[in-house]
């Protein structure tokens, strides 16, 4: 939580920004920290006005970012991001989003709230790899074309690594038939796919692994993010075992998908719209504070 002094500074700053004398100001928000950070490579202590496109770099303490639109963000220690009115471009470290109508972009992907009250975290772990966590609520991840590639529920985190769009889609889940259309909710990314191809009839009700290519046509099943032309179908668990697992999950009050994951073999991973995705357990979702949050500047030598 912010200190009383920080909250007072923010309140006074917002009051000034809303006054007539500041109507023409290009400022989009305020950055604060318990220590120093850099704004466009200039060292700042305490706080600084944010302008569209500012590059913010943190050191040993985290920084809070408050936009005039009401968006609240946070950068962990040792992080770097460029801040715009509509999105944070995360280049290094960890960023946190606590508001709607905004997104964090990294490695060509976009992370946003799936519903109000969500806290999303994004960590850059390589030039083309990120980890996304739903610390609270539900998080959506889309690719550069706006296609939904993952939906994370609270407490989950996943790694993503974009590849060339020509990479085959590879998903797994219970194959079902709805109004004459084949659909599958991928057990890794929690995304609904509409499937089209030969040999699907024999897999209905089974846990299957689908390999295919994304069709340019839009899916006709409500809620489906993509239409997949199926190349191959691999049966992982038959219908009888699927029903047993789902029943056990229901009796225990859990999710059928969790039980099905437990009886399957091999690492759970998927490739959706050219992006490789896999579940991770690194503590990004569970951590109470980000690195550097609540830290204080070192004492000044005399």
Give the whole-angstrom CA distance, residue 145 versus residue 148.
9
Residue 282: inside a domain, yes or no?
no
223 and 258 together in one domain: yes
153 and 181 together in one domain: no
Residue 107: inside a domain, yes or no?
yes
Q: Which residues pair with 36 in a beta bridge?
A: 45
155 and 129 together in one domain: yes
DSSP output for 25-71:
--EEEEEEEEEEEEETTEEEEEEEEEETTEEEEE-SS-EEEEETTS-
Tens of pLDDT along 237-287? 876 665 555 554 444 443 444 444 444 444 579 999 999 999 988 789 989
141 and 174 together in one domain: no
Mean pLDDT (the chain, rounded)? 84
Tens of pLDDT along 52-95? 999 999 999 999 999 999 999 999 999 999 999 999 999 999 99
Q: What's the rounded mean pLDDT across residues 183-210?
A: 95
153 and 194 together in one domain: no
Domain range spanning residue 199? 169-272
pTM: 0.81
Residue 74: inside a domain, yes or no?
yes
206 and 263 together in one domain: yes
Domains of the chain: total? 2
Considering only residues 56 and 295, tell me which one the structure prediction assigns the higher pLDDT.
Answer: 56
Which of 86-100, 139-153, 191-205, 238-252 comes out lowest in average pLDDT?
238-252
pLDDT at 237: 84
Give the whole-angstrom CA distance, residue 79 versus residue 11.
26
Identify the CATH number of the domain in which residue 32 sits: 2.60.120.1440
152 and 176 together in one domain: no
137 and 206 together in one domain: no
DSSP output for 58-95:
E-SS-EEEEETTS-EEEE-TT-EEEE-SSEEEEEEEEE
Residue 285: inside a domain, yes or no?
no
Tracing tokens 């219970």 back to the chain, one arrives at 174
């Amino acid at each position: 939580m912010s200190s009383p002094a920080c909250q007072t500074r923010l309140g006074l700053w917002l009051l000034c920004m809303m006054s007539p004398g500041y109507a023409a100001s290009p400022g989009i928000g305020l950055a604060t920290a318990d220590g120093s950070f850099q704004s466009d490579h200039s060292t700042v202590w305490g706080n600084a006005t944010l302008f569209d496109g500012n590059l913010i770099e943190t050191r040993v303490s985290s920084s809070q970012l408050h936009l005039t639109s009401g968006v609240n963000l946070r950068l962990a220690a040792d992080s770097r991001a460029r801040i715009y009115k509509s999105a944070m471009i995360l280049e290094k470290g960890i960023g946190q989003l606590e508001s709607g109508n905004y997104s964090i972009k990294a490695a060509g992907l976009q992370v946003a709230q799936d519903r109000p009250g969500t806290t999303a975290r994004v960590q850059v772990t390589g030039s083309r790899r990120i980890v996304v966590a739903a610390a609270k609520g539900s998080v959506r991840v889309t690719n550069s074309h706006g296609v939904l590639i993952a939906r994370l529920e609270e407490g989950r985190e996943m790694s993503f690594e974009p590849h060339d769009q020509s990479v085959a889609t590879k998903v797994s889940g219970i194959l079902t038939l709805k109004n004459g259309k084949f659909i599958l909710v991928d057990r890794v990314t929690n995304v609904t796919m509409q499937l089209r191809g030969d040999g699907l009839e024999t897999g209905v009700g089974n846990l299957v692994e689908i390999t295919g290519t994304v069709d340019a046509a839009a899916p006709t099943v409500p809620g489906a993010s993509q239409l997949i032309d199926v190349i191959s179908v691999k049966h992982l668990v038959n219908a009888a075992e699927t029903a047993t697992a789902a029943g056990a999950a229901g009796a225990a009050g859990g999710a059928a998908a969790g039980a099905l994951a437990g009886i399957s073999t091999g690492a759970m991973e998927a490739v959706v719209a050219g992006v490789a995705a896999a579940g991770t357990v690194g503590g990004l979702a569970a951590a109470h504070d980000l690195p550097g949050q609540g830290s204080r500047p070192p004492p000044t030598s005399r």
